Structure formats: structure tokens, C-alpha cells
Structure 1
Amino acid sequence: MAEGQYKWGVVIIACMAIFIIVLDSSAMNVAITTLVKDLNTTLSIIQSIIALYALIIASFMLLGSKLQDILGRKKTFLTGVFIYASGTVIATLSINAFMLLLGWAVLEGIGAAMMFPATTTIVGASYQGKDKITAFGIWGGIAAMGAAIGPIVGGIFTTYLSWRLVFGSELLFVALILIFRGYLTESQPTLEWKDLDVVGAILSIVSLVLIVLGILFLTKPEYWAYVVVLLVSGSLLFAVFLLWQRRRINKGLEPLSDISLLKNRIFGLGNLNSILQQIPLAGFLFIIPVFLQQVTHLNAFMTGVALLPASLTIMVFSLLGAKLSSRLDPKYVMMIGFLVSAMGTWILGGTFNINTQIADIIPGTVVFGVGVGLLLSQLTNLTMSAARKDQESDAAGFLNAFKNLGYSMGTALIGVLLLLGVFWGLTASIQSSGLAENMTTTEIQDSLFSYVEKMQTTAPQDIPANLVPQVTQMVDATISSAMQMTFNALALIFFLGFVTSIFIPSRKKQQT
């Protein structure tokens, strides 16, 4: 940092980048219903675009991280900013789902994959000691703030103006980043283009795409035959990627990523815990808006208001958690975070029914927010602390790749779980009620699938008037039951995170 420059200028620029990347997902979640209508598409397609945004970030993250060694941190970051901005313009002007996919998921995703790891290494290289802990605490807090104000921003724009302004407003942050780019210092490139592991890049990208596509294909029964093929192929290709990296290292060639980092227990478990934290967070941010808008019929703005207590709690406790780690071992802060988050999701699981009001979900969402805030305050600094200075780029790539893979998997997996819960629940309810005595199970399912995909909750048009109240209650009750099952699954994932945290070495053991 140049003499006389504002001390926290670097972290503020990094935070603006993280803020707009996170804002996209959290703000657009409350616009899901509007997007389905405006773009004349389905829930599963919008769900896929949200998941693919995080997936493309994850898939290109290792490549984006390695580019820092070829171009330098600052140039990689700024290139990502320009690509992200071009995607933002296309997303703002979208007239169909394909344009939204291209602008948001593809271009913004690739731009974010170049910005994300660069922010981690830029912050890590610019601060030392307590300042570094504080900087990463701010970094995590601002990321949480993006999630915090995202739903309310998205709600205001979607309800009173246009969801397009969520994307359009991000261009203001892009302009600020470019204006104050002088705070960033360039790192010296250590590699040339010929050193880039192209095969490794292709293997990492394709393997992760196949895994998440396999999960997303669960939303369409006609694609179920391909699910196992995609998941197994993706997993095998990722194993091949790891073997390829080891082969290059053994031959003295530059790997895409230093996989020796994964042998470090702190780094490996830190990444695993990042995935286990992101899956339920993404699921929470996806399915709460679906329920509030479809069952309780709230608009996007009120959905944002309903999520605000959780979001603000996440932001506050991510900042408090950074201070708490100076008194309590980060390992124990994480363990508390996982347990509290699990408790919050378990509480929420029992609150959803056809008469649920905003006030009913606030206690559970606040408890959830406390736990997630504590987790966000610790994971980045604890995981990155396991890397040597010469491994920082690779470490940032792995950490952010796994983080976004977790978010993508969460949106896909939890969204699929909710859709299938509603689908099978409605099938069983209709069969037991005798409303479709002359239809086979297959015929009932064929007639229901489009109905569920379009997120309809009113009685279908061809239902006799005298049966509408019964059918409407059946639909709402089925969705509520599916929500309870889904939140219980989220609680189990958080509890698994608590169990894996037990095996992270404590700070005292690390020092000895």
C-alpha cells in the first residue's frame, strides 16, 4: 500500500466486489415468482440459472486463481470486473431465460471466478497480524451484508420498480471499483501462459458441471435415467483431475492447483465445512421465498422484509464472531455456529403451515442467522491460515471453488428436495382423496408436473367449483409438509458440519 493511503482502502474495494457477487443470488431469490412470469419460464429453469451462476463461479475458480500467477493479482481482478460488468448489462436487458442465463450465470459467473480468489489474496497480502483477522472479518461481514440486504433490495426493486435494477445498480459498484483501483497493488507474475495446465482446467470445469447438472436433472422425471451417469462421470473426472495434478507435480510441471494443500487437515476440513455451511444457506435463501410467495402470497418486498431479521443477524454475528475468535479458539466458534444453525433450521421446520405468518418464522430465522454469522466469521481466515505465502493463490482458488460449489449444490439439491416433496406429496394426497379415481398414478403425475413446476398453488382450472376449497387446502398442506421435511434435512447437514469441526486441530495444538 502506498504511503499515506487510507489503511482499509484495499479491503473496501475487495468488499465491494464480494458484495455485488453475493447480492445477485440473495436479491434475485425474492424475484423467483416474477422471473417465472416475466420471462415465461418455469421454476426449475430459474432454479437452474441460480444454481449455474454459483456453479460457473466454482468451476472456473481454480483457473481464475491460477491466472493471478500469470497476469498478476490486480490485472486478474480488473479483467474479472470488466467481464462481470458485461454480463450485468446483458442480464439487465434480458427478454428471455436464455439472455438471463448468458448474462447472469455465464458472464457474471466467469467474471466473479476471476474476482473472488483475487479479493482473498489481495486482502491476505495487504494486512498482517490482527489487521489481517479484522480485514477478513470485514470481508466476511460484507459478504453477509450482501446476503442481508439482498432480499430487501430485491423486494423493493421487484415490487415497486423492476427486478432488472438489481443488476443495473451493480454497475455503480463496478464504477467505484474502477475509480479507486489505485489502492490495489500489483503482484509480480511468477508463471507464463505456456505454464498453464489447460488439461487440468478442462477436467476441473467439466467434472464440477457434471456433478451439479446431475443434481439439477432430478427436477425432471424424464431425465432421471441420466442422473446417476452424470454424478458418477463428474466424480470420476474430478478424481482424474486430482491424479493429473499429482502427475504434473511429480514431473516438476506447474499444476493448476497445488493439491498438496488438501493433505493439510485444517485446510481440508475448512473446505469441507465451507461446503457444509453453504449448502443449507443456499437452500434457506431459495425455499423461504418460494414458500412465502406461493403459500402465504406475500409480494417480493414483504418476502424481503421477512428475511431481514435473519440477514441482519448474520451480518452482526459475522462481525462479532471475528472479535470472539481473539478470546475463544476459532474451532469452538465454528462448532457453536454449526450447532446454533442446526437448531435454527430445526425450529423453522416446525413453523410452516397454511396459516404461517411472518412473525412465526422470525425466532427460527434469527437463531439460524446467529449460527451462520459465527460460521462466516471464521471459515475464511481459519482455512487460509493453513496455506504458506507461496500457496495463497491456490488456497484461495480451492476455498472459493468449494464455497461456490456448496452454494450451487445447495440451490440445486434443496430446491429439488422441495419440488419432489410437493410432487410426491400431491400425488399421494390425490390418490388417497379419491379425486382422481379414474386416473392411474402415471396419469396423475403427468398432469401434476407442469402444475408444480410453474409454482401454482391455486386449484387447477378444470376442478369442479365445489371441490376447490378441498383441493386448495390439499396443495397448501402438501407444500407445508415438504417444507418441514426440507428444513429437517438442512438441520442434519449443519449437524454433520458440527461433527466434522471436532476433527480440526485447536489453536494450541497448531502452535505446538
Structure 2
Amino acid sequence: MDKNQYKWGVVIIACMAIFIIVLDSSAMNVAITTLIVELNTTLSTIQAIIALYALIIASLMLLGSKIQDILGRKKTFLIGLVIYAIGTITATLSVNAIMLMIGWAVLEGIGAALILPATTTLVGASYKGKDKVTAFGIWGGIAAMGAAIGPIIGGIFTTYLTWRLVFGSELVFIVIIFLFRNYLTESKPTLKWKDLDKLGALLSITSLILIVLGILLLTTPQNWSYVLLLIGSGSILFLIFLLSQRRRINKGLEPLSDIRLLKNRVFGLGNINSIIQQIPLAGFLFIIPVFLQQVTKADAFTTGLVLLPASITILIFSLLGARLSSVLGSKYILMIGFIVSALGSIILGGSFNLYTQAIDIVPGTIVFGVGIGFLLSQLTNLTMSAARSDQETDASGLFNAFKNLGYSVGTALIGVLLLLGIFGGLSTSIESSGIAANMSSEQIDSSLVAYVEKMQTTTLNIPPNMVPLANQIVDSTISSAMKHTFNILALILLLGFITSIFLPSKRKSVN
């Protein structure tokens, strides 16, 4: 079919690309136990890979946006797709955690950082007026759908076939995109490689990676001496990056990103609220499967089934929120979203105990999903509305970078809070239980920590008569840690409510 005969060809291609990128983030969380067993790795390692995937997208997003101006949006998109395909093949064939990390987190992350900003500009340049609104609505809806059905797809593949098909099936979409690539239009390059702010790219990438790695190291007390160094140096480098961007702008040089956008109250607060929203969402999607598969012994399919009501709720209320914005205004829908999702977190925190069944947490996940749906319905449009048409590329790069940074930090930080709560609780419980009568407390502590890290799939290195009590202690400790972690998530969401108060009631554009 001639590309001019079907006007929605571009948005369909963009939707397929965004679908496979979102699918990775949501589908693989339910496969944690299977990944640990088949790749002989640990919970902390899988957590690091999930966080690293979002981190690499975030750290390379600004560079990926700028490369479009050098190579053209179509070429940038297709190069990103090739890199993503190589990563998908590598992840599918993974024989250990390192290979999975290279394929999924590194190669797919690099590919996604080139694809995501290109899809935005391809859709934006291909449609006008109502068609443009419709196209972006379809694009956003498919992204939400990918996140919604990801857990159940991951659960079906992992339980009844193999988790490798999550990655392998993405190759089908990639092949289709290449077959219909002629629908895409190329943009004329406006920059040359010599115009690229290479120092800015290095500073932005390095600073974000150091910060998230510092958070991830919190899970291992022996590495705590490096945590402050990594987070501190990363923060300083990011400040230097911002100063370097301002200097280039003042000198009339091409910056990596137009950080003047951050001075606009709507754009700045919109990005802050996006980060705050992503942290609990990422944490929720990581720690719920950990609890279900360790304490209730749920398989991947059951885990995906438990998460499905929340996913559907998020999708429904993101669509409903978009309709309500014309009545209530974005600011007030955001405030409602933060309050409702905080309430959902509190309800979830109260539902965890030694006897919790999978069905018991569904009501809390639905309330949480209502709030998150409202937030997702507003944040992109609200934040991007602050940018002029000539700033859309920079605005999109910054927004998606901060959004993925929030997801990465959420996976790292909330996962760390849960694991620290578990490990700390184990030590306290061991001392009061008396099961260390024939072994040192340190020996049993070490054995139980390794047991949790392996998602309770190994044999405890303790006397057999102690195993039932040890299992009870582990499950009880995980339940207690979940309760405290969700209470912290509620506080983070309440912080989002406070920051959203400072948004203007009506949108303002950048001056």
C-alpha cells in the first residue's frame, strides 16, 4: 500500500515501537523467581538490571533527542531499532545474569533512548490539528496498554512457556516495523557532529549513573562507604552539567538541552511530579511480585493475574482523567491522584501479614491504580504544554529523561528499602527466636539473607528441625518490611500532593 493512502501508518509504527519498550518494563517483573533460578543469580542482581534498563534510557535520552538533529529522525529511529533488536536477541539467548544485563539493560536501553524521542517527533511532524491530537492519544493509549497487559503476558510466557519469549516476541514487532519503514518521513539535519555538546553528554550520563548506582549499593552494607561518594559525586556532576548548559546557551552555542525550560514553573514542577509519581509506581511493580512469590508462593502467572486489576484500573482512569481535565483542571486532578494513590499505599501497607493471600492485596492495588491513572493522564500534557513549538524536542528529551530516572530510582530505592527492612528484621528475629542455639547468630543470619536473595528457592543451611521456624521468620519479616515500605510510598506520594499545590491553576507557556 502506498504510504500516502493510509495516514495512520506513522502512528501505528510509533505505537509498535513504544509497546515493546514498555512491555519489557512491566512483563519481566513477574518473572523474578524464574530468572533467579534459571540464571543462577540473586534478587539484588535482578533489581539492578531492571533499574539499569530505565537508568540507561534516562541517561541517554538527552543525547538521543539531539542526535535526531544530526542524523534525521527516521535514521535515528531505525538505528535505535537495530540496536534494540540486537539487545532483544542477546536477552532471549541469555545464559547468565551478565548476558541478560548486556542485552536487556544496556543494548535495549541504548536503543530505546534513540527510539523514544524519535517516535515523539515522527508523530508530531506527521499530523496536524485534530489528527495530531488523535495520533498522540493513540500513542499514549498503546503505551498505557503495554504497561497494563505486560504482567499477564509475562506471567503466561514464564509459567507455561518461557520468559525468553517476552523478548523473542518483540522481534516480530521489530521485523514488521522495518517492513513498513517507508511510511516514516525523514527530517533534514540541522546540526553537525561538531556542534554536539560532547562534554554535556558525558556529564549528564555519568552523573545519573553514579547517583542510581549509589542507591543500589545500599543493599550491601560492606559497600556503604562508597554510597555517599557515588551519590555526592553524581549530584555535583549533574550541577556542573546544568552550569555548562547555561554557559553554552549564553555563548550562543548549541546545548545538549535547553535547560531554560526548567525555569518555567509548570515545566519544572511537572517534571518533579513525574519523578515523584514514577518512584512509587516502579517500587510497587517490583516489590509486589517479591512478596507474592516469596510469601504466598505464587507463580508468575498468578502474580500477573493479581497485578492485572491495578493495570486495568490505571488504564481506565488515565483515559477518564484526560476527559475530566476540561472540567476540573490538570492541577486538581493531579492533587486527587496523589491523595488517592497515597491512600492505596496505606491500604496496601495494612494488608500484609504472615497469612496474607494474593487476593487480599487486590483492593489496595485497585485504589493505588486509580490514583496513578489520574496522575498519568495529566503529567505529560501538563508538562509539555509549558514548551513553545520550537522547544518541543528539548522538552520531550528532558521530560522522558526525568521520567525514566524516576522509574530507575524507584526500582532501586524502594527495592533497597524493602531488602534493608527484611535483612534488618531477620537479625532482630533471629536473636529473639532462639533458633541459633547450635549455630552462631551470624551464621544463621547469613544463611537466611542468602535464602531471601534466592527467593526461597534453595535449601536453608541450618539444622532441619529449625527450617519451619526459619521459614516463618522469613515470611513474617518480609510482610513487616512490606508494611513499612508502603507507608514510605504513601509519604512520597503526599510529597507529590504538596508540590502539585504550587502549580498554577491555568497553564502558562514559556516566555
Tell me if TM exceeds 0.5.
yes
Quick check: 1:459–1:468 contact (8 Å CA) kept in 2? no
**Equivalence for 2:210:** 210
**Equivalence for 1:27:** 27
The whole-number CA distance in structure 2 between the counterparts of 1:296 and 1:396 is 41
The whole-number CA distance in structure 2 between the counterparts of 1:258 and 1:494 is 29
Structure 1 SS opposite 2:119: helix
Q: How many residues align?
A: 510
The whole-number CA distance in structure 2 between the counterparts of 1:182 and 1:332 is 43
Quick check: 2:448–2:460 contact (8 Å CA) kept in 1? no
Quick check: 2:197–2:256 contact (8 Å CA) kept in 1? yes
Structure 1 SS opposite 2:328: coil
Deviation, 1:447, is 4.0
Quick check: 2:382–2:507 contact (8 Å CA) kept in 1? no
Deviation, 1:433, is 1.8
Deviation, 1:185, is 2.3
User: Taking structure 1 as reference, are residues 464 and 112 closer, same or farther at Cα in structure 2, changes over 3 Å only?
Assistant: same
**Equivalence for 2:103:** 103
Quick check: 2:430–2:441 contact (8 Å CA) kept in 1? no
The whole-number CA distance in structure 1 between the counterparts of 2:320 and 2:144 is 12
The whole-number CA distance in structure 1 between the counterparts of 2:413 and 2:507 is 37
Letter in 2 for 1:205: I
The whole-number CA distance in structure 1 between the counterparts of 2:373 and 2:178 is 30
Aligned ranges for residues 105-504 of structure 1 at < 5 Å? 105-436=105-436, 445-456=445-456, 460-465=460-465, 467-504=466-503
Letter in 2 for 1:141: G
Quick check: 1:317–1:373 contact (8 Å CA) kept in 2? yes
The whole-number CA distance in structure 2 between the counterparts of 1:386 and 1:362 is 37
Deviations 1:152-179 (A, max 9, x none): 1111111111100000000111122223
User: Taking structure 1 as reference, are residues 506 and 134 closer, same or farther at Cα in structure 2, changes over 3 Å only?
Assistant: farther
What TM-score results when the alignment is normalised by the length of structure 1?
Answer: 0.95
Letter in 2 for 1:410: G
Structure 2 SS opposite 1:492: helix
- Is 1:75 the counterpart of 2:75? The answer is yes
The whole-number CA distance in structure 1 between the counterparts of 2:172 and 2:327 is 39
Deviates more, 1:40-49 or 1:443-452: 443-452
The whole-number CA distance in structure 2 between the counterparts of 1:23 and 1:294 is 24
The whole-number CA distance in structure 1 between the counterparts of 2:376 and 2:439 is 50
The whole-number CA distance in structure 1 between the counterparts of 2:185 and 2:264 is 30
Letter in 2 for 1:238: F
Letter in 1 for 2:491: L
What TM-score results when the alignment is normalised by the length of structure 2?
Answer: 0.95
The whole-number CA distance in structure 2 between the counterparts of 1:61 and 1:510 is 23
- Is 1:506 the counterpart of 2:511? The answer is no
Letter in 1 for 2:494: F
Letter in 2 for 1:496: L
Quick check: 2:261–2:510 contact (8 Å CA) kept in 1? no
The whole-number CA distance in structure 1 between the counterparts of 2:126 and 2:367 is 34
Give ranges in structure 1 of 5+ residues lacking alignment.
none
User: Taking structure 1 as reference, are residues 70 and 268 closer, same or farther at Cα in structure 2, changes over 3 Å only?
Assistant: same
The whole-number CA distance in structure 1 between the counterparts of 2:291 and 2:274 is 26
Quick check: 1:137–1:319 contact (8 Å CA) kept in 2? no
Deviation, 1:508, is 6.4
The whole-number CA distance in structure 2 between the counterparts of 1:322 and 1:136 is 12
Deviation, 1:493, is 1.3
Structure 2 SS opposite 1:436: coil
Deviates more, 1:52-61 or 1:434-443: 434-443
The whole-number CA distance in structure 1 between the counterparts of 2:319 and 2:135 is 10
Letter in 2 for 1:499: I
Alpha-carbon RMSD: 2.1
Structure 2 SS opposite 1:326: helix
User: Taking structure 1 as reference, are residues 373 and 126 closer, same or farther at Cα in structure 2, changes over 3 Å only?
Assistant: farther
The whole-number CA distance in structure 1 between the counterparts of 2:70 and 2:117 is 14
Letter in 1 for 2:274: S
The whole-number CA distance in structure 2 between the counterparts of 1:196 and 1:279 is 31
Quick check: 1:74–1:184 contact (8 Å CA) kept in 2? yes
Deviates more, 1:2-11 or 1:278-287: 2-11
Letter in 2 for 1:369: G
Deviations 1:64-112 (A, max 9, x none): 0111111122221121111111100111011111111111011100000
Deviation, 1:440, is 6.5
Deviates more, 1:469-478 or 1:260-269: 469-478
Deviation, 1:135, is 3.5
Deviation, 1:194, is 0.6
Structure 1 SS opposite 2:204: helix
